Structure 1
Amino acid sequence: MSLSLLAGGVPEFAQGAERITGKAEEVFDDVCAQDWFCPYVQYVYENGIMQGTSETTFSPYATMTRGMVAQILYNQAKETDNIGEMGSETPVFSDVQADQWYFEAVQWAYANGKASGVGNGRFEPERQVTREELAMFLYRDAGQPYIGGELYFSDANQVDGWAKNAILWAVHQKIMSGTDNNHINPLGSALRSEAATMFQRYLTVPTIAYLTSAEESEEEREIRIFGRTVDSCRYPNSQTAEANQTWVRVPVWKLDSNGSKYSSTLDVQIHKELAGSIQQIFQEIYDSGEQFPIYSVGGYNWRGDTSSSEHCLGTALDINPNENYQCKNDGTAIVGKYWKPNEDPYSIPADGIVVKTFEKYGFRWGGTFRNSKDYMHFSYFGT
């Protein structure tokens, strides 16, 4: 791949590019306004994060090297006055020497924990960077925040152990998305179009906490579930909805025929972006000491293309439906039989651990609805 070079063989972007105005599709012959990557190329180009490979080409399907990524992060740190420590003048890696254009960036990246070598004292700066390596560069740059959960991709077993948290974080933060057929392609080389996308999202998308909370705004909730703000919280069809669901196993207490409590588990299908929160919620309910018994948990349920039910999103749960009925305000049952807290052990008390824990993580209880009551229901968007 050719690079725009200054005298002495130093790539222009290694010097830190100027901010440039102009439409990317008008500057580059290989970028069209209809291309999915056009807005991301526009962002990195006009903000001086990435330049073209020539005056008229961006080469969106060409690849990036490890040295390039280190240099881009270094330039961004200088741009934002967040340089941290300067790297040692003595080479850290045997294949990165002082006369190479990426030397200062690699030394800085290593000194500040932004990057590490590949073993045997080498950095391999001119090797194509893989998608999981690019995720790790950004994850380290972000300070390696806490993350947990599982990867729900067909090729998740190909993710190297050291990269799992980075991939989890990048996917959760909407920085990285899967390729076709539910693959994350961790070992594939990162294309320049993909790198532009990840840099744009990393630098502009609000940070999304791993676990939900009561303090989240409506915008933050929409970004978590849909990856963006939306006009209507609805999926267009069941295929789209189901592609965003996963199964989780949660710990519960149950009652045997003698009324004694025993430990068990239940499986529930839920939106994959809520999986960690749902597991945390049920773990806290289980550990609370109250030992509230749960025999049924219902999650995702497609109810038609025009339905506004949060069960169609996988963002609502129903617990013990018979004893926590949905009803009109006059008590007429719609679904279930009754709600008798402190009388029936399966009915959810308004001041109990179940309601408190769900509310702590930003879920609204249907027992507080105005037009009707739904005592079994807990929903992320509050509907």
Structure 2
Amino acid sequence: METVGMLNHEQKKKMLEEQTLLHIIYLDFEGQQQWGEIMVHQNIAPEVEVIFKELLQQHFKIEKMKCIECYGGDDLLSMRDNNSSAFNYRLIEGTQRLSNHSFGLAIDINPVQNPYVKGCVVLPENGTFYKERLPVKKGMIVKNDLCYQAFVSRGWIWGGDFLGRKDYHHFEKYIVGINI
């Protein structure tokens, strides 16, 4: 069901109608409880609420959580600001295919501490310090840690397991009839 081609307003409108805005309590990097907002597909909203409750109970730190509209839909700007987000109607970089964020079926967490890495390219650029995954620092996601388990145990795929590139901040889920 992955659409090929240009982004269009009608398709975005339809996808927006399938999203649910969640109000999430999380621990910021100072250990203080904060309210964040994240927009996800309505079919996974209850599961996402449970995941973030688990992360809160386990004291996993998240710097901030705002909807992508606060950044004008600019993914790189959101990543540079270390914003954790989900729905964003956009193409996969360098392709004509819709990102799983367009379906509300992908979540990015602490992109500075968990950057996208492919060869010498690190995004966001201010995440370069975190390209090396050891020692583990606050807000980082590593294989088999509590954040990884909270998502993967429910059928999500972690971008840190991708071949040829690592997208350490990224989790995505596939649902027949929505994005496959």
Q: Give TM-score, length-normalised by structure 1.
A: 0.35
Residue in 2 that maps onto 1:243 = 17
State the alpha-carbon separation in 1 of the partners of residues 60 and 120 from structure 2: 24
- In the alignment, structure 1 residue 309 sits paired with structure 2 residue 78: no
- Distance, in Å, in 2 between the alignment partners of 1:341 and 1:293 is 17
CA RMSD of aligned residues (A): 2.4
Give unmatched runs, 5+ long, in structure 2. 64-82
- Partner SS for 2:28: strand
Aligned residue for 1:253?
27
Fraction of identical pairs, as percent: 23
Q: CA deviation at 1:334?
A: 3.6
Q: Shift of residue 342 of structure 1?
A: 3.9
Q: Report 1:124-135 matches (<5 A).
A: none
For residues 320-354 of structure 1, the C-alpha deviation after alignment (integer angstroms, 9 at most, x for no partner) is 111111111x3531435233454431221222100
Mapped pair 1:233 → 2:41: no
Q: How many residues align?
A: 145
2:35 to 265, 269, 279: 265
Shift of 1:304: 4.7
Offset from partner CA, 1:195-214 (integer Å, 9 cap, x none)? xxxxxxxxxxxxxxxxxxxx
8 Å Cα contact 1:341-1:347 kept in structure 2: no
State which structure, 1 or 2, has the greater radius of gyration over its C-alpha atoms.
1
Structure having the higher helix fraction is 1
CA shift digits 1:217-257 (9 cap, x unpaired) = xxxxxxxxxxxxxxx2349721111111110012211123x
Amino acid at match of 1:325: P
Higher RCO (Cα < 8 Å, 6 or more apart): 2
Inter-partner Cα distance in structure 2 for 1:368 and 1:263:
30
What secondary structure, in the 3-state scheme, does the structure 2 residue paired with 1:322 have?
coil
> Corresponding residue for 1:292?
60
| Correspondences of 1:4-19 after superposition (within 5 Å) | none
Q: In the aligned structure 2, how far is the partner of 1:315 from the partner of 1:381? A: 7
CA contact 1:266–1:297 (8 Å) conserved in 2:
no
2:20 maps to a residue whose letter is T
AA of the residue aligned to 1:368: D
Deviations 1:119-158 (A, max 9, x none): xxxxxxxxxxxxxxxxxxxxxxxxxxxxxxxxxxxxxxxx
CA contact (8 A) 2:2 2:97 kept: no
SS of structure 1 residue aligned to 2:44: helix
Q: 1:313 and 1:367 mapped to 2: Cα distance?
A: 20
CA contact (8 A) 1:364 1:380 kept: yes
Which amino acid is 1:233 matched to? Answer: E
Structure 1 residues without counterparts, runs of 5 or longer: 1-231
**Contact between 2:116 and 2:124, CA under 8 Å: does it hold in 1?**
yes
Note the alpha carbon deviations across 1:22-43, whole angstroms, 9 max, x for none: xxxxxxxxxxxxxxxxxxxxxx
**Runs ≥4 in structure 1, deviation > 4 angstroms?**
none
How far 1:372 moved relative to its partner?
0.7
